[in-house]
Amino acid sequence: MTNGKVEFATLADQIAFDVQWIKAALADIVANQPGVSVGIGTLTLLVFMRMHGVSKYKQVTNATLNFTALNTACTMKEVMLAYLSAAILEPALAIMGAEHAEGRQIVVNLANLLGICWWIFLLVDSFDYTDTARQKTYAGFVEDAKEDKKKYGFLKVRDAPSTKIEHSIHLDIALWFQFACIGAAFTGFVTHRDVMHAWLIVILWAILHHSCKKATSWGTGYWVSFVLPSAALLPLEWCLPMRDCFDGVGSVDDVKEYVDFIKLRCGIDLSIEA
């Protein structure tokens, strides 16, 4: 040891020392901070479930869209967003207001604030179908762009079909974060009152998820899509333009165009229960 630093004869000795240090640190966390260890364990389990679920995911070729259930899902989304919009004030005021949260309370309130913001992003992104509508509109420009490449050379539109639905892990983590908070409460690291928002978010998601699965399902099982929110929400983004009878569709031919577009881009032969 020189000047407080440990010197190693070889790189292998240094790696072995680092591994032992990490093991000792993890052992200390498990022994003295059960909430953190349970949170890490919960997230590890959910990552494994996602990897297993995606590997076992079977892309269907036929699906049904139920507009009654889709309307219910959209209404439930508004209820959940209203709750999140109200709940976001509590942790913000606890951190910056007169309560003067300190220590563990700051961590808990920051976690609540992050989780609520994450869910607001998740719901707004999933039910905003402007991106899907834009893809369909610009896909119609492909032939014009090919015919006059000099005039429309600035336009690059993806016209090749993509028949695989990709789940989004950054959306799925929004739910896993709530599970980790609830798991920490069961260990006593925090109280259930501290993570009440996490409990309510999971309950509201359970109701919304049921409506989403009744609206349409593109290959994932009920419980797999429950722990992988993107698997339940992504199909809705493709179907929501057909619900808009003011700007989206005005005739049965418009609906047929959207059905054909979904078939081209997602490989789903969609039937509709209006």
Q: pLDDT tens, 62-92?
A: 888 999 999 999 999 999 999 999 998 888 8
Distance, C-alpha 214 to centroid of its chain: 19
Per-residue pLDDT of the chain (274 residues; tens, 9 = 90+): 444 455 556 666 666 766 676 666 556 655 665 555 555 555 555 555 555 555 444 556 788 899 999 999 999 999 999 999 999 888 888 777 656 666 667 777 788 888 899 999 999 988 988 888 888 888 777 777 777 777 777 777 665 555 556 567 778 888 888 887 888 788 777 788 888 888 999 999 999 999 999 999 887 788 888 888 888 898 898 888 888 776 667 788 888 888 888 888 888 888 888 7
Structure tokens at 106: 């700051």
Tell me the domain boundaries of the chain. Answer: 11-273
What pLDDT, on a 0 to 100 scale, did the predictor assign at position 55? 46
If one counts every other C-beta atom within 10 angstroms of the C-beta of residue 259, the result is 18
What pLDDT, on a 0 to 100 scale, did the predictor assign at position 120? 93
